[in-house]
Amino acid sequence: MTLLAPLLESFFTDRLYKQLGSSPNTVAGYRDAFRLLLRFAHTHLGKAPSDLLLADIDAVFVGAFLSHLEVDRHNKPQSRNVRLSAIHSFFDYVAFLEPAHSGLIQRVLAIPQKRCDRNLVDFLTPEEEEALLKAPDQSTWLGQRDYTLLFAGVETGLRVSELIRLCSEQMVLGTGPHVRCRGKGRKERCVPLRRDAADVLKKWVEEQGGHPSEALFQKRGGGLLTRDAVERIVTKHVAKASEACPSLKEKRVSPHVLRHTYAMSLRRSGESIQTIALSMGHESVETAYIYMRSDLSATEKALARLAPIGRTFRRYKPGDRLMGFLNGL
């Protein structure tokens, strides 16, 4: 009888922390996946988490858990796949520790990721972006914080986790202004800033003072903002901005939409996909192709170069050289 508990504890302490040095976000994501799994096991198997055996978590059980996520919790296939990735990672680790259970382990690892729709990304138009940035009341401290936070989101394309930990020591706001951050996959990247963006951030840094390593965007009483707090800030100001810009009422604007807005601004300005991928901190250039699919302007320009139906092209024939000379006099 092989208990699940010591294997799962070892997975987090030894595998994720010591061997892989996983980021806090990765650990939190895996933790949440297994909390859901253990609660499901307690309900359907009648066992406390500490009493579960590895044999209880077989392919049939995992399949039932994944169905529960989609049917009962109404998770999208993308969320279901994230939970399955955490389970796969655990069983990859257990395969080396418990070879006697190799059959069970291989059957769980054989559960495939579910195909899902690849929708176009949502982003703000220049008019919507302007309305959103006008929404915060900058006569108050909270309004100034929210304005700078939203402005930084659309001007840097930082992820929410990167924004809430952004501090002044990561920024160069003089000559060659830019932000340096270590994002997903522990990859450090440098994001150039426009002069006006650097001025906004510099003003906020000077007003806040504080230690260079302290987060720029904090709660009123101090301390890091949470992801949920940033979500509420965006939702609050989108609701106000929609009064002046009705098109915002038709969009679900999340903090990640601010990141997409930055990428689409680069795309519309003619930047290459490679440059966009580097600025966004993508692992692969292929990830940035979502912005090409969402950019109608490139397709419209290509269509404009096409000849109307029924129109024929004639092969170019150079004119007479002498007549050209005389016409040019």
* Catalytic sites, residue numbers: 159, 184, 256, 259, 282, 291
H or E element at residue 147: helix 141-156
Q: Which helix (H) or strand (E) holds 198?
A: helix 195-208
DSSP 242: T
Residues 6+ apart with CB under 8 A from 327: none
Q: Which residues in the chain belong to E strands, given as ranges?
A: 171-172, 178-182, 188-192
For residues 181, 191, 184 and 17, what is the CA-based torsion angle, rounded to 10 degrees? -20
Task: Determine the residue type at 282.
Answer: H
Give me the phi and psi of 244, to 5 degrees please: -90, -25
Residue in 77, 67, 175 with CA at minimum distance from that of residue 118: 77
Q: Which of 233, 226, 292 is nearest to 258 (CA)?
A: 233
Instruction: Report the SS3 class of residue 316.
Output: coil
How far apart are alpha carbons 147 and 152 in whole angstroms? 8
